[in-house]
């Protein structure tokens, strides 16, 4: 594997989002062969239920993507705050009703809207042109800007307020403070008083001069800090723009990674309502000239649920009239089919170098299961569109659902039921967690006690065994980073269009009965990974509660006996002796 780089850069979080946004450290993505493919960073805004994974083959382009996303989220959050404010005020009922009506109309015209937009990337428009701004506190070590320094709108120090010097005492003024008789009999005391005041003045003057010198030094340092930060910012901006120019040049030459990056920029420029997830994973396959997109669709409960608002004067409250279930179902189906057709259209229209022959679109919905309360991610629609056929359509006149069916798209009869379907084309199985497997099965014989193996060797053994099991129909199994933490140990990809999909495999080299908690964890992992099935393999056995929990769920529990049988099926022998293993492990 290539040597991993230390990746870091600063990003400016808008004031409105301070302490609300989580930005991961940038990381390097690798393909299944261990070669670096792209850089990535994860953003999360929990309060607004927004998250986004950004990728780029050019590291410095990431910063621009981050700042574009944060600016977008800032606008969304401001609109969210404005809406909350309006909902609490009766005088805004008419405005709320107008906004509600416009929101529904916008959803019904998602496809029509994009037809008036040129989806081709305008490279100049997406370059970084913003001026440097900084929060004034960031110019100082303690994070606080002093009140004696003034700043311009960019955060640059412009003016220093100095402490006024103390007034020098005069003997005449001191003398005038004493009465006639005091002057007559206390001349010496007056002189001493004056000398004391002069001494105090000199000390205060010295302190003032020092304080002003300190202020001036801090002022000059803050200017220097601002100028240095601005210089770094301008250099970073130049690097980002040069990286963008690099992508543009490579895109013109039809470099596969640049084509992938370009398509990502196209989708990033597509404007949808604030509450849409707008997350996707995109892959370009050079050999077949296909762009494969896994696109996060809004869940049914993310779409508007209110038809209108009404202010009830007697109760001094605003009531809501909900959309009927029939209207919500119709709206959801319409929105999902429009997003699908619109995404395909945007990618094809923007394909100025003619790199795409087809687009495969898999629509995913993440939602909590009403039966289990567990969040699940399901592919609910899948289609592959041929460019020549698609570009002949008059999208201003079509019914998106009919277009989807005409192109042999696959989906359940009612999308709102979120019925999962096997995708027509899946994304590449590359995963930054995957590592190279090693041969363990080949060294097995009847002397090997599986229950006493090192857990790392056991995980590789399970990967090899299931690779043999799935190989007959073109499946593939990948082992993940060794962790010994009960997470995902291997992932199988079964291409069978009916029973296949992504399968999570966990290996438990146990000498005790596997408790139901491990089976529950597996089910949660299956849901979190968007997998179609989970397989738990152990050297021991499962309790009654484990088997009961797994019933009617996409889970398979294989005990030690099942494991030995599976090994024998593929021509390998070993043994399992729990008592012996306990002694070895505890020795």
Backbone region of residue 93 per phi and psi (left: phi > 0; alpha: psi in -120 to 50; beta: other values): alpha
Contact in structure between 24 and 41 (CB atoms under 8 Å) = yes
Which DSSP state fits 354? -
Rounded to whole angstroms, how far apart are CA atoms 121 and 238?
Answer: 19
- DSSP category for residue 514: B
Rounded CA separation 107/110 (Å): 5
The helix (run of H) or strand (run of E) holding residue 197 is helix 187-252
SS (H, E, C) 530-543: CCCEEEEEECCCEC
Nearest to 564 by CA among 440, 444, 463: 444
Distance set, CA 558 to CA 194, 215, 535, 555 (Å): 99, 73, 7, 10
Other Cβ atoms less than 10 A from the Cβ of 426: the count is 19
Token readout for 346 is 């945007």
pLDDT at 27: 84
Q: Which pLDDT score, from 0 to 100, does residue 109 have? A: 93
The pLDDT score that the predictor gives to residue 351 is 95
Series of mean pLDDT values for 10-residue runs along the chain (587 residues): 54 84 84 76 88 84 84 90 72 82 91 92 89 92 92 94 89 70 61 82 91 94 94 90 90 92 92 89 88 93 87 76 91 95 96 94 89 84 92 94 93 87 70 48 73 80 81 66 52 70 85 88 80 88 85 88 86 86 76
pLDDT on residue 394: 95
Rounded CA-CA distance 18/135 in Å is: 11
Other beta carbons within 10 Å of 393: 15
Q: How far is it, in rounded angstroms, from Cα 294 to Cα 264?
A: 12
Sequence-distant (≥ 6) Cβ neighbours of residue 520 within 8 angstroms: 549
Query: CB–CB of 384/359 below 8 Å?
Result: yes
Q: What angle do CA 221, 225, 231 make, to 5 degrees?
A: 145
For position 293, what pLDDT does the model report? 93
CA-closest candidate to residue 456, choices 420, 507, 500:
507
Q: What is the DSSP letter of 8?
A: -
| Separation of alpha carbons 393 and 396, rounded Å | 9
Unique residue bearing structure tokens 């898999």: 362
Which contiguous run of DSSP H or E holds residue 505? strand 501-508
Alpha carbon 136 to chain centroid, angstroms: 29
- For 467, phi then psi, to 5°, come to -65, -40
pLDDT of residue 90: 61
Residue 357 CA neighbour count, 13 Å, CB half: 6
As given in the structure block, the two tokens for residue 53 are 């994974």
Residue 308 tokens, joined? 């209108």
Give the burial string for 300-322 (b: 16+ CB within 10 Å, else e): bebbbeebebebeeeeeebeeee
Cα three-residue angle 390-396-400, rounded to 5 degrees: 60
The structure's pTM equals 0.59
DSSP string, 137-179: GGGSTTS---TTEEE-TTS-EEEEPPPPPPPPP-HHHHHHTS-
Q: Which residues pair with 312 in a beta bridge?
A: 317
Class of domain 434-586: alpha beta
What is the 3-state secondary structure of 221-245? HHHHHHHHHHHHHHHHHHHHHHHHH
Q: CA 265 to CA 121: how far, in whole Å? A: 7
């Amino acid at each position: 594997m290539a040597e991993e780089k230390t990746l870091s850069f600063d990003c400016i979080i808008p004031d409105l989002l301070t302490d609300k946004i989580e930005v991961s450290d940038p990381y390097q993505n690798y393909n299944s062969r261990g070669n670096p493919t792209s850089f990535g960073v994860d953003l999360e805004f929990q309060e607004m239920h927004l998250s986004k994974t950004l990728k780029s083959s050019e590291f410095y382009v990431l910063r621009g993507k981050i700042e574009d996303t944060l600016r977008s989220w800032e606008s969304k959050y401001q609109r969210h705050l404005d809406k909350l404010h309006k909902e609490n005020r009766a005088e805004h009922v008419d405005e709320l009703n107008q906004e509600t009506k416009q929101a529904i109309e916008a959803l019904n015209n998602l496809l029509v809207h994009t037809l008036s937009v040129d989806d081709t990337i305008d490279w100049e428009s997406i370059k970084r042109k913003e001026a440097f701004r900084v929060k004034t506190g960031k110019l100082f070590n303690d994070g606080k800007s002093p009140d004696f320094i003034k700043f311009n709108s960019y955060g640059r120090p412009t003016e220093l307020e100095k402490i006024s010097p103390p007034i020098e005492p005069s003997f005449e003024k001191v003398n005038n403070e004493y009465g006639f008789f005091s002057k007559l009999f206390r001349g010496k005391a007056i002189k001493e008083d004056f000398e004391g005041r002069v001494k105090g003045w000199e000390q205060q003057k010295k302190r003032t001069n020092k304080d002003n010198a300190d202020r001036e030094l801090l002022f000059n340092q803050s200017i220097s800090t601002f100028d240095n930060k601005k210089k770094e910012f301008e250099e970073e901006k130049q690097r980002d723009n040069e990286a963008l120019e690099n992508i543009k040049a490579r895109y013109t030459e039809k470099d596969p990674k640049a084509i992938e990056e370009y398509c990502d920029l196209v989708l990033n420029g597509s404007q949808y309502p604030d509450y849409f997830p707008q997350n996707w994973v995109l892959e370009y396959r050079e050999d077949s000239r296909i762009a494969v997109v896994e696109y996060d669709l809004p869940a049914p409960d993310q779409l508007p649920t209110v038809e209108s608002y009404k202010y009830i004067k007697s109760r001094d409250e605003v009531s809501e009239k909900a959309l009927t279930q029939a209207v919500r179902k119709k709206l959801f189906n319409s929105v999902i089919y429009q997003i699908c057709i619109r995404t395909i259209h945007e990618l094809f229209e923007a394909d100025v170098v003619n790199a795409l022959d087809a687009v495969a679109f898999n629509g995913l919905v993440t939602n909590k299961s009403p039966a289990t309360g567990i969040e699940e991610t399901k592919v609910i629609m899948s289609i592959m569109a041929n460019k020549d056929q698609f570009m002949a359509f008059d999208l201003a006149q079509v019914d998106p659902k009919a277009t989807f069916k005409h192109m042999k798209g696959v989906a359940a009869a009612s999308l709102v039921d979120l019925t999962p379907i096997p995708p027509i084309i899946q994304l590449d199985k590359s995963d930054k967690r995957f590592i190279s497997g090693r041969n363990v099965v080949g060294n097995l014989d009847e002397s090997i006690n599986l229950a006493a193996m090192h857990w790392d060797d056991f995980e590789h053994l399970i990967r090899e065994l299931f690779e043999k099991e799935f190989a007959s129909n073109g499946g593939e199994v990948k082992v993940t980073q060794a962790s010994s933490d009960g997470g995902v140990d291997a992932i199988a990809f079964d291409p069978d269009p009916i029973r296949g999909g992504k399968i999570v495999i966990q290996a438990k080299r146990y000498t005790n009965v596997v408790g139901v908690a491990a089976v529950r964890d597996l089910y949660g992992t299956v849901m979190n990974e968007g997998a179609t099935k989970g397989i738990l393999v152990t050297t021991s056995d499962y309790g009654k509660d484990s088997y009961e929990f797994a019933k009617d769920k996409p889970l398979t529990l294989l005990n030690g006996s099942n494991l030995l049988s599976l090994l024998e099926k593929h021509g390998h022998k070993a043994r399992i002796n729990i008592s012996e293993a306990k002694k070895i492990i505890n020795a």
